[in-house]
Amino acid sequence: MKFGKSLGASAFCVALSLLGGAAQAQQVIQLVTTGGSIEAARASVNKQEGLFLFDSGIGTSGVTPSVATRIGCRPWGKVTGFRAIGERVDFPKCNTSQVSVGFLNVTMPQLSVIDLEKLMGPDGKSLSGVLGLDIFANRVVTLDVARNRIVLENPQTLEHIKKIAHEMPIRLVRSAEGAALTADLGVPTSAGTLWMEIDTGNYGPSLIDQNAASLVGLNPRQTANQDWRMTLPNALTISGPAIVKDLILDGDFGRDALRHWVITLDLANSRGWLRTSGK
């Protein structure tokens, strides 16, 4: 989770892909990138429409205080999370809400109430909230950062993906008493597997914990950005800027790394597939 700059409108479409000789409908949420290369989606909560930041590292989806008022929510309690650097964040919550994004309609047992303007400054004024992976729980979803879109897969399209992509280890993380949902990608090293958070909301360099830096070819004592390039199994590569910090997790893949891949996540069965962007 790393908040960015100004946002614009978004649109949705249904794409038809010819897979295995038959047309299979895919549900595509087409995001629009504006200003500082921010991914946003048009969505509604209890029929209140607005513009929502998409952040796969946020953990729990949420609405702003003003939207909470409009949907009749009286924020209560708290949802507690932690940033990668260990900073604790507490948000109040709303009870059951209906969320619609693209062609997906889902009942969320709770939403966080997040003051995005406070967190992001003026860039948060136009936002109604934020959407995370918890919206897609128990579904198969593809994150295509380079093409600014999210694809809701079906059994037929998933079978095609399995033929053209490489399966990689995925760990689902359910913090905040199980309310949050994020996904980590397993990166093999000489010492063992590092678990890197897939974070489309990180518009800066990827983050690597100082204890893991040397395992991926980075200088653990250098505090400035470093150029990072590493080859994963099946010749998949990681590249982009990275910075070494004292983290509470192994690391965090930002957009500069994620844009090289198309990542399909089975959020019901903790499985994932990667392929090079453009393939």
Residue 162, pLDDT score: 97
What are the respective helix, strand and coil percentages of the chain, to the nearest 5? Answer: 15, 45, 35
Section 11-32 average pLDDT: 55
Distance CA 263, CA 261 (A): 6
- How confident is residue 266, by pLDDT bands cut at 50, 70 and 90? very high
Tokens 């649109």, located at residue: 11
Whether the pLDDT of residue 15 is over 70: the answer is no
DSSP 8-class letter at 232: P
**Domains in the chain, please, with CATH?**
11-141 (2.40.70.10), 167-276 (2.40.70)
* More confident call, 124 vs 181: 181
Whether the pLDDT of residue 20 is over 70: the answer is no
Residue pair 262/153 in contact by the 8 Å Cβ criterion? no
Whether the pLDDT of residue 92 is over 80: the answer is yes
Distance CA 267, CA 217 (A): 31
pLDDT in tens, 219-230: 999 999 999 988
List, in sequence order, the alpha helices (H) in the chain: 65-70, 116-120, 155-164, 255-258
First CA to last CA distance, the chain:
27
pTM greater than 0.75? yes
pLDDT in tens, 38-57: 788 999 999 999 999 999 99
